[in-house]
A and B are shown apart, each in its own frame.
Chain A
Amino acid sequence: MAIVIIGNPNVGKSAVLNRLSGSNILVSNYPGTSTEISANPVKIGKKEITIFDTPGIYSIFSEGEEQKAIRDLFEREEIDLILNIVDASNLERNLVLSYELMDLALPVLMLLNQIDRARALGIRINEKLLSELLKIPVIPFSATTGEGLQEVWEIMESSSPEKKDKAIKEEGQRNKENLSRGKKPLQECSLNELRMGQCNGHCALCSIPADTCMSYADWRRVEKARTTADMVSSSLGERQRILLEKTQAFFDSSLLGTPVLLLLAYLAFVLLLKFVAISEGPITALLEPLNQTIESFLSNILPPGMLNTILSKAVPEGLIIPFSIIMPAMLMVACIMSLLEDSGLLPRYSVALERAGSFFGISGEAIIPLSLGFGCRTPAIMASRIMPTASQRFIVITLLSIVVPCAATLGILASVIAAFQASLPVIAGTMFAVLMLMGFILSRLMPREDAFIYELPPLRFPLWSNVGKKVKMRFSGFFTEVLPLLLIMSIAVRALLESGFLEIFRTMEAFTRFLFGIPAEAFIAVLVTIFQRYLAPLVLLNLDLTPREATIAISMIALSLPCLPAMVMTVREIGWSGLTKILGLGFLTSCSVGIMLNLIL
């Protein structure tokens, strides 16, 4: 049996699924948390059920990656039940999508989610009447308290493909047959043919049947949704504003809200740097004995020679750097980001910074993927799907790949800067200047339509269990990805150093000195960033650099190519041509930065 969960953004689809299945899907308090369809096998009673969780959409007939993915799902899979998650406190708008779903001629079960919040807001919904009007079962539900869970389970357990309503079954069958014959009877059949901008206003001259035409059918659903919502809901009128709403009003006021948001961001950044600085010493001291044990152990058991030297140096190095530098940064970023997400503050940044963003040619939504990039670029690139157009996505992914430093990069940059007494203001200033310049140029190349529209979720107290779960999931990447990769690459880098292979590049010394003012080996470090940006400093730490050389080399590394996982994600999201452009740009940026700094400093 296959069930698909569909609903507006930020109505709690993933939270419902977590309740139903006990799985750990990341739930956040901003629209667009689930950007991909996930299949979740669940066992209820004796039944094996696959539940598809989908990204939030306002209309399945709209243009867009997510909508297309959902339409493809309907064509590909035999769906037995649509679980329509509806925000009980915002019935009218949610019902528009519900009416679309009911037009698909599949059984629909509606969950009035966040019913507890709606009650707190003084909204009463007559779910019996709603069920009668829509002719589908409607269940008041709360993913937080578990209200309605039993009923949903019962319906899911009792409904089966055989028990599908006969008329519905026949209609679905007819639609399928017509589809194979190339006819367009219902909107379902034109799912993938619908394109925006086709309406010429002359229905008689149009090849699209009036019933499947966007504006007309949409219009009817809006009218129906409004009438139905008016009939079934009643408001208790004036009520006391709760503390949370007062806080929200404060953050949403333009004069006070924005400075406070910026102050919070600054404090979070200071906290991050302080935490990394304070924790590095104790962690290193703690790991030092272990480090020496590993080193002496390896040099004892291995036969003396090059392998011995490489491994006995590289393994402890590859262990201590991730733990002392990257781990604290990743942990802190995970905590800060999870709190911002769960409270609903993150989307408020996108509104407050909309004007600033327009200078970079990106709309306010970009703040979400860009700030996620300070954690890890890979999920951030995926989150760039919330951008309204393809060119905006490209700008965001480019800025993410080249300019925004991830937690791991930040940690390692901080340590290298300290080791060589490189100039932090110069490096940070360079990064900022590149961000401004690159955004400015890209936005002039790809002008955007000023069409900023964004739904703000209500402010919430973060759920500690939720925040904890998210920190854990974010942080698990440290052990599965960062640690093994760094260990392997540390060995490779050490091998490269010990083998004397780098001596070849000494011939380039004159060239790199003239152009960038850095020794050839430091330029190798820049080239190493192709594999993983936070590896490059491993090479640097083994060199003897002056502060000036270090400043230039670190700036070049900080502004270069994305790491391997980020590249893989980029190909998945915008294809090889997009990645090629970004790599070219990254290389160009890195070299220009080197040349410029060599001239200026």
Chain B
Amino acid sequence: MEEVTAMTINDMKPGQSARILKLNRGLQAGRRLFEMGLVPGARVKLVSRHPFKGPVLLQIANTQIALGRKMANSVEIEIQE
């Protein structure tokens, strides 16, 4: 395992926007992220985080995507604004 120092979706606060940099997932999970439009370069906004390490809710374009914490942890981002 390489050291992960970059920010991930889990580091975002509700209301913040970010740009996706990289997906640190294997092919299968990576493909599911890709299918939902979570690809490098895409802009996402964090809508809410569910308590007890529940899923996070993201907005991409006009759709809302719920993402498990582990998945969210594997998406590297760069906060915008």
Contact = CB atoms under 8 A, between A and B. Distances in A.
Interface of A: 58-59, 62-63, 89-93, 96, 118, 121, 123, 196-197, 199, 214, 218, 222, 226, 249, 252-255, 257-258, 350-352, 354-355, 363-364, 388, 449-456, 458
B22 interface: no
Contacts of B66: 350-351, 354, 364, 452-456
Contact of A352 (B41, B47, B50, B70): B50
Contact of A355 (B31, B38, B54): B54
B61 to A, nearest CB: 5
B14 to A, nearest CB: 9
Nearest to A89: B62
Contacts of A89: 61-62
Interface string B2-43: 000000000000000000000000111101111111110100
Contacts of B71: 450-453
B34 A222 contact: yes
A252 B27 contact: no
B69 A450 contact: yes
Which 3 residue pairs across A and B have the least CB separation, nearest first? A452-B68, A58-B35, A450-B70
Given A226-B41, A355-B53, A453 B32 contact: yes
Contacts of A62: 31, 35
A63 B34 CA distance: 13
A258 B48 CA distance: 12
Q: How large is the interface on B (under 10, 10 to 19, 20 to 34, 35 or more residues)?
A: 35 or more
15 contacts: A62-B35, A96-B37, A118-B62, A123-B62, A196-B28, A252-B48, A254-B54, A255-B51, A354-B66, A364-B55, A450-B71, A451-B71, A453-B32, A453-B71, A456-B65
Interface string B57-74: 100111111111111000
A92 B37 CA distance: 8
B60 A93 contact: yes
Contacts, number: 114
Nearest to A388: B32
Contact of A354 (B34, B65, B68): B68
A290 to B, nearest CB: 51
Contacts of B57: 252, 254, 351, 456
A252 B64 contact: yes
Nearest to A97: B35
Given A59-B35, A196-B31, A388-B32, A453 B68 contact: yes
B28 A355 contact: no
Contacts of B69: 450
A396 to B, nearest CB: 17
A218 B34 contact: yes
A123 B39 CA distance: 22
A354 B35 CA distance: 21
Nearest to B64: A456
Contacts of A449: 29
Nearest to A454: B66
B68 A450 contact: yes
A430 B67 CA distance: 33
A444 B52 CA distance: 21
B81 to A, nearest CB: 15
B23 to A, nearest CB: 11
B63 A222 contact: no
B1 to A, nearest CB: 16
Nearest to B40: A222
A91 B61 CA distance: 9
Given A92-B61, A364-B55, A455-B64, A252 B34 contact: no
B50 A254 contact: yes
A189 B49 CA distance: 43
Contact of A363 (B39, B49, B60, B68): B68
Given A450-B68, A453-B67, A254 B49 contact: yes
A252 B47 CA distance: 8
Nearest to A352: B50
A354 B54 contact: yes
A454 B62 contact: no
Contacts of A58: 35-36
A583 B34 CA distance: 38
Contacts of A355: 50, 52-55
Contacts of B47: 249, 252
B13 to A, nearest CB: 13
Contacts of A93: 36-37, 60-61, 63
B63 A453 contact: no
B64 to A, nearest CB: 4
Nearest to B60: A93
Contacts of A458: 64
Given A93-B63, A197-B28, A363-B68, A453 B50 contact: no
A199 B28 CA distance: 12
Contacts of B65: 453-456
A578 B15 CA distance: 45
A338 to B, nearest CB: 22
Given A257-B48, A450-B68, 20 more contacts: A62-B31, A63-B31, A93-B63, A96-B37, A196-B28, A197-B28, A249-B47, A252-B47, A252-B48, A254-B54, A355-B55, A363-B68, A364-B66, A450-B70, A451-B29, A451-B68, A452-B55, A452-B68, A453-B33, A456-B64
Nearest to B69: A450
Contacts of A214: 31
